[in-house]
Amino acid sequence: MDRTLSRQAARSDIAREAQYYRDNISSASTVDDFLADPRLYNYAMKANGLEDMIYAKAFMRKVLESDRTDTNSFVNKLADTRFLNFAKSFNFSPDGKLAAVSPSMQDQLQLDDTLESYSVESTNRGSAAATESEYFKTAIATIANVDQFVSDNRLFDFALKAVGIDPSIASKAAIKSVLTSDLNDPESYANSFSNSNYAKLAKAISFAADGSASSGAQTTLQTANTVFNYFERTNNGGTPAAATARAAYFQQAIGQVNSVDDLVNDETLLNVVANGFGLDASIETAERIRNVLISDLSDPGSYVYQLSNPAYQEITKAFNFEFDGSLASGTPAMKADAQVQMIADYKVNYDDAAIRRATFAKNIFTLGSKGVTSVDDLMRNSTLYNVTLDAFGFDHSTSKATIRRALVADENDPSSFVNTTRDARFKSLASAFNFGDDGQLIVPPRAQLESAKQATMRLYSTTVDDPTETQQATKDANVYYNQAMDGVGSVDEFLSDKKLVSYVTNAYGFSDGDISNDTFRSILTSDPLDRSSFVNTGDNKKYRLIASAFNFRSDGTAGFGAPGKTQDYSKVVSTVDAYVRQSMETEAGDSNEAVRLALYFQRKAPTVTTALEILADKAVFQVVRTALNLPDSMVNLDIDVQAALIGKKLDVSKFDDSKYVDTLISRFSAMYDIKNSTAELPSVALTILQQIGR
């Protein structure tokens, strides 16, 4: 049969029409365009077995413009499923134009992966920051002079990041001058910068003018403050190590608080107090906490009693401030037992706020991404941009120009930025977003288009021997395949996922291991319509079905999708194939009706799964009725009785077995010969076998 079809496809008239269809179908951007080109229209109609309806253009317009998702639409109400299949093979929408597909910054899989990476990177950053903070606390205590400090790269980087200075561009000579400056001198080097972060650095680390640190480079409080600021500056404020750093800072700093203003004007102290007493630090104000701290608990009319949350009263009880905000001589700002309890509670409560912030950031990213139309929109939105940096492990000091360069790079171009840099994060970043080289949104390449993916999943589901026992396993496999295929960008990526390879292998009737990686690569990079390609020259024609179902280019990269195209490429392939088959059936039928029926049955049988489907197809039913020698009068029986009768005499589940189908065709031909034989006519069985290349 395959040889017969190949000869048919190679005929000059058929090859010429196929080439015209391939070359011009994409130019039909509306139903009007399609109907106005008789060669395109007639070709598609014949391919779909609708040659007798070519005259009915008004009817076919209604078919093509039907909403296939609406069960009450015109095409879905037609009993003949050929019309629905015809409509499904094109990408027209109810307005007669190509279905509009708006590109988005990320598809759902890309979005989910980005948000998951955001959470994972947050944990990883926290662990790394904790390691660096422990090193800093140990090493800074050993520093005796400024030269030792600047020569220790880990100390140097940590301290500069803690005050917001990028250590990668900072001059060590300049930093030495900053650290040995006199901050009390307005003209000193540290005070000469417009950026106040340099003065903050000089205040955080204590070196004399000669670079010495006779009393140590930092006090315990300075170290605690530096560590805490490092966590905040590196976006690790919600980690356990950051909570410990805040608590350590509080315990050091609270002893130096001499008034209520000293406390509320220190954001870190205020944060620990709010979280320690179960409040949301992100919405608390210094003014409110100040008024709470100086409230008179013995006065029912005082400020603290005007607040409904009893936690505020606990704050008032925990501190020793006078009504004017001062502290009595020798009195600590906070009661010792209250401090112990608050610190313990803080370490329990701190992550509530962090979780709220992370959830808020994710929600804003999800919602905000829908309004992004260009890479510039993403980079202008600080929340979206910062989540992006965090998700892919980039420091916030990374050059925006570099990030932009990665976002608009073509990950499939070997010479692009993301493929020439050694930092794999940039390629991951490019893969996660759908920007073209002009910064505008694009529809991303897809290894398999949606319609073909759903067809593959249906094939896989039919391979299950016992649906009852493996229903959940099949469902899980389908879910994995549906999601994972959207993330495949090349044949290499596909072959590296053994679950995907196994799924496709089984879906197309092979067993695991039947197809080697090299063979798979040859299949997936073949053009099904190129007669000299691998899938058209090998012995196994199932390979061609696999190639038709995927969207890889000859270089192994994923191709671009269907938006803006009249047909998916897989549909073009199936249309061309169907035309060849239909032309052969028609020509055979012109000389012998039995041959036409046999060829039609051979083509349709693999799609039939129930006896009722046999009854629904007039030609298939005729072949089955003849092969089984069933009387014509059976059509008068109840439909369920007819189905039961057929079910007893043949196994419909074997209709996808070519040998079983060939046996039925042989029986059909023999019975047809008996019923219609004449001495002048050759055997129909012989004619059929000649037609299908036996």
Report the amino acid identity of residue 167: P
The answer to whether domain 1-101 has CATH 1.10.3700.10 is yes
CATH T-level fold of 356-443: AGR_C_984p-like (1.10.3700)
Phi, psi dihedrals of residue 4, rounded to the nearest 5° = -65, -45
DSSP state of 633: G
CA torsion sign, 213 to 217 to 222 to 224?
A: negative
CATH for 446-560, among 2.70.98.10, 1.10.3700.10, 3.30.530.80, 3.90.190.10?
1.10.3700.10
At residue 560, the pLDDT reads 64
Rounded to an integer, what is the distance from CA 318 to the centroid of its chain?
Answer: 51
Q: Which residues pair with 552 in a beta bridge?
A: 558
Residue with tokens 């906070």: 334
* CATH topology agreement for domains 1-101 and 356-443: yes
What pLDDT is attached to residue 691?
A: 52
Q: Which residue intervals of 605-683 are DSSP H helices?
A: 611-616, 618-627, 639-649, 658-676
Q: How many CA atoms lie within 13 A of 512 on its CB side?
A: 6
Residues 6+ apart with CB under 8 A from 30: 92, 96, 97, 98
pLDDT value of residue 677: 61
Phi and psi torsions of 651, nearest 5°: -105, 100
Residue appearing with tokens 């073009």 = 572
User: Rounded to the nearest 5 degrees, what angle is found at the Cα of 582, between the Cα atoms of 537 and 682?
Assistant: 95
Residues 382, 630: Cα–Cα separation, whole Å: 75
pLDDT of residue 5: 65
Task: Count other Cβ atoms within 10 Å, centred on residue 164.
Answer: 17
**Residue 509: its pLDDT value, please?**
86
Q: Give whole-number Cα distances, 384 to 242, 390, 402, in Å.
A: 24, 10, 17
Cα torsion 226, 232, 237, 239: sign: negative
- Give CA–CA dist 243/249, Å, rounded: 10
Distances, alpha carbon 367 to alpha carbons 289, 357, 378, 383, in Å: 34, 15, 12, 11
User: Pick from 461, 510, 454, 508: which is nearest to 485 by CA?
Assistant: 454
The conformational region for residue 163 under phi > 0 = left, psi -120 to 50 = alpha, else beta, is: alpha
Q: Work out the burial of residue 66: count CB atoms within 10 Å of its CB; fewer than 13 is exposed, 13-18 middle, 19 or more buried.
A: buried
Is this structure's pTM higher than 0.85? no
CATH number listed for the domain at residues 592-694 = 1.10.3700.10
Do 268 and 246 contact (CB within 8 A), yes or no? yes
CA-to-CA dists, residue 49 to 286, 322, 426, 626, angstroms: 79, 94, 51, 23
Annotate 625-655 with b (16+ C-beta within 10 A) or e (fewer).
bbbbebeeeeeeeeeeebbeebeeebebeeb
Residue found by looking up tokens 């040995």 in the block: 180
SS3 604: helix
Half-sphere exposure of 223 (CA within 13 A, CB side): 19
Residue 603's beta-bridge partner residues?
Answer: none
Query: Are the CB atoms for 387 and 106 separated by under 8 Å?
Result: no
pLDDT of residue 681: 47
Q: What is the largest CA-CA distance in the chain?
A: 129
pLDDT of residue 44: 95
| Structural domain spans, the chain | 1-101, 356-443, 446-560, 592-694
Contacts of 575 (CB under 8 A, 6+ apart): 21, 43, 44, 47, 48, 89, 567
Cβ–Cβ < 8 Å for 247, 345: no
DSSP annotation string for 291-338? HHHT--TT-TTSGGGGSS-THHHHHHHHB---TTSB--TT--SB-HHH
Query: What is the distance between the alpha carbons of residues 414 and 668, in angstroms, rounded to a whole number?
Result: 58
Q: Check if the beta carbon of residue 441 is closer than 8 Å to that of residue 451.
A: no
**Along the chain (694 residues), what's the average pLDDT of each consecutive run of 10 residues?**
67 89 90 94 93 92 92 89 90 85 81 86 81 92 94 94 90 94 90 91 92 90 87 78 86 92 91 90 89 94 94 95 93 95 87 72 87 93 92 87 94 87 90 91 82 86 62 84 86 93 91 91 90 82 87 83 70 88 77 79 84 88 90 88 90 85 86 67 51 50
